[in-house]
Amino acid sequence: MDVKNLSIGTKLIHAGVEPDPATGAIMTPIYQTTTYVQSAPGVHKGYEYSRSQNPIRHALEKAMAAIENGKHATCYGSGMAAIDAILKLLSPGDEVVSTNDLYGGAYRIFMQVFKQYGIHFNFVGMNDMAFIEAAITPNTKMLWVETPTNPMLNIIDIEACASVAKKHNLILVVDNTFASPYLQNPLDWGADIVMHSATKYLGGHSDVVHGCIITNSDDLQKKLRFIQNSCGAVPGPQDCFLVLRGLKTLHVRMRQHCINAKAIATWLKTNKKVDQVLWCGLPEHPNHNIAKKQMRDFGGMVSFSLKDDTVQAAHDILSKTKLFALAESLGGVESLCGHPATMTHASIPRAERIAIGLKDSLIRLSVGIEDVEDLMADLEQAFS
Ligand code: P1T
């Protein structure tokens, strides 16, 4: 079905999927197969070997491209596999200018994997384009943006980054995991590549690890496909099924994530033990206006620090919540809480964490879609 002119909720349900031509099954079948029989050498139905192509992955890729307003999508076995594929577009000596506030695993693959292959990474605050400009050298090939950032929930102006990238002929990559395509479409603001950890809001039920890359560029897509087929970071068909199923309710879930996050952020502001509340929907958030420009709502992630700025104070609260499960990850229907300094961002040296404002007491909430009164009562008892 051509979904181009349909709105997002309809796209999420219909993009990429057709009734199965063999049986009429409304759900895309899982072809649990490694290979496809050819009637003569090179004569086949578009599928040769499941590292290269698989029907449900193909359906999911069409859906992903459609919901990000992109031309092409490639799905991976995890968000990190997607990041790995993007970095393999680079060559030794190339440089990347990256936001200094990003997922700890992205920082780790930059500094502990790709650095040893001669790729250089410069980390800057991306709230001011002058900082980015100052870090660009003749060897810079890529700008790496995450927005909202993990875990500080800063908002980076994608349109402004796109104009810097264009001026210097750089590939602009936006990790759109925290927003999801329901809230933000970076390609529309000039990004060259959008990536997702589909493990999060896209899958939405904490039951699948998956990644995705979307682009409008035929050239980048050709290279990414080549990298994927050569390196093999493909998702299994069962996992593609789960993400495809998750997509169908993304709009409904995201609306409730946003409503609940707003209630929790507003409530946290009134709590005497809380120092800073970070949620880009708050009018006092330093990037609120950029969020209003490029996002349709403000998302389900809320971070906050404590007046008692110690690891212990954070651990005390985190060990008492009952509905908010203490766990890495985010974006599922159930609420999670985490302590970036000792969990998701432990691979970033403390001095660097402190420099970007990631305090020892910072707590990150992935606000789920439970009834929000219960969530607030849970936090209240954990604080008391
Ligand atoms: O976990 P994986 O699907 O491989 O995705 C990695 C990834 C990439 N980008 C962002 C912004 C992410 O937040 C993540 C994974 N993040 C967590 C597991 C976390 O708890 O923050």
Catalytic residue numbers, as ranges: 51, 103, 175, 200
Question: Which residue puts its alpha carbon closest to atom 16 of ligand 1?
Answer: 329
Do 188 and 283 lie in a common domain?
A: no
Atom of ligand 1 nearest to the CA of 151: 21
What is the count of structural domains for the chain? 2
**How many residues make up the chain in this entry?**
384
**Residue 136 domain-assigned (yes or no):** yes
Residue list, ligand 1 pocket, CB within 6 Å = 78-80, 103, 105-106, 146, 150, 175, 177-178, 197, 199, 209, 211, 328-330, 344
Tens digits of residue pLDDT in 257-297: 999 999 999 999 999 999 999 999 999 999 999 999 999 99
**Residue 355 domain-assigned (yes or no):** yes
**How far does the centroid of ligand 1 lie from the alpha carbon of residue 213, in Å?**
14
Do 195 and 257 lie in a common domain?
A: no
CATH number at residue 192: 3.40.640.10
Do 367 and 256 lie in a common domain?
A: yes
Domain boundary among 247, 273, 296: 247
Question: Which residue puts its alpha carbon closest to atom 12 of ligand 1?
Answer: 103
Atom of ligand 1 nearest to the CA of 81: 4
Domain boundary among 247, 273, 303: 247
Domain boundary among 186, 214, 247: 247
**Residue 144 domain-assigned (yes or no):** yes
Mutate to test the pocket of ligand 1, among 176, 196, 199 (most ligand atoms within 8 A of CB): 199
Question: Which residue puts its alpha carbon closest to atom 2 of ligand 1?
Answer: 79
CATH number at residue 298: 3.90.1150.10
Do 65 and 196 lie in a common domain?
A: yes
pLDDT at 347: 87
Q: pLDDT in tens for each of the 384 residues of the chain?
A: 889 899 999 999 999 999 999 999 999 999 999 999 999 999 999 999 999 999 999 999 999 999 999 999 999 999 999 999 999 999 999 999 999 999 999 999 999 999 999 999 999 999 999 999 999 999 999 999 999 999 999 999 999 999 999 999 999 999 999 999 999 999 999 999 999 999 999 999 999 999 999 999 999 999 999 999 999 999 999 999 999 999 999 999 999 999 999 999 999 999 999 999 999 999 999 999 999 999 999 999 999 999 999 999 999 999 999 999 999 999 999 999 999 999 999 988 999 999 999 999 999 999 999 999 999 999 999 999
Structural domain harbouring 370: 250-383
Question: Which residue puts its alpha carbon closest to atom 17 of ligand 1?
Answer: 329
**Residue 3 domain-assigned (yes or no):** no
Atom of ligand 1 nearest to the CA of 199: 3
**Residue 217 domain-assigned (yes or no):** yes
Cα(314)–Cα(243) distance, integer angstroms: 33
pLDDT at 374: 98
Cα(127)–Cα(56) distance, integer angstroms: 39
Do 335 and 238 lie in a common domain?
A: no
pLDDT mean across residues, the chain: 97
Mutate to test the pocket of ligand 1, among 83, 103, 154, 196 (most ligand atoms within 8 A of CB): 103
**Residue 2 domain-assigned (yes or no):** no
Do 21 and 60 lie in a common domain?
A: yes
Q: Could you tell me if 288 and 127 are in contact, meaning their C-beta atoms sit under 8 angstroms apart?
A: no
Do 99 and 180 lie in a common domain?
A: yes
Question: Which residue puts its alpha carbon closest to atom 6 of ligand 1?
Answer: 79
Q: Could you tell me if 281 and 261 are in contact, meaning their C-beta atoms sit under 8 angstroms apart?
A: yes
Do 130 and 243 lie in a common domain?
A: yes
Tens digits of residue pLDDT in 112-149: 999 999 999 999 999 999 999 999 999 999 999 999 99
**Residue 1 domain-assigned (yes or no):** no
pLDDT at 1: 82
**Residue 66 domain-assigned (yes or no):** yes
Do 105 and 198 lie in a common domain?
A: yes
Joined together, the tokens standing for residue 118 give 């001669």
Do 44 and 140 lie in a common domain?
A: yes
pTM score, two decimals? 0.97
Do 69 and 86 lie in a common domain?
A: yes
Phi, psi torsion values for 303, nearest 5 degrees? -115, 150
Cβ contacts of residue 180 below 8 Å, gap of 6+? 196, 200, 201, 202, 250, 254, 299, 331
Q: Could you tell me if 291 and 297 are in contact, meaning their C-beta atoms sit under 8 angstroms apart?
A: no
Do 97 and 176 lie in a common domain?
A: yes
Q: Could you tell me if 367 and 302 are in contact, meaning their C-beta atoms sit under 8 angstroms apart?
A: yes
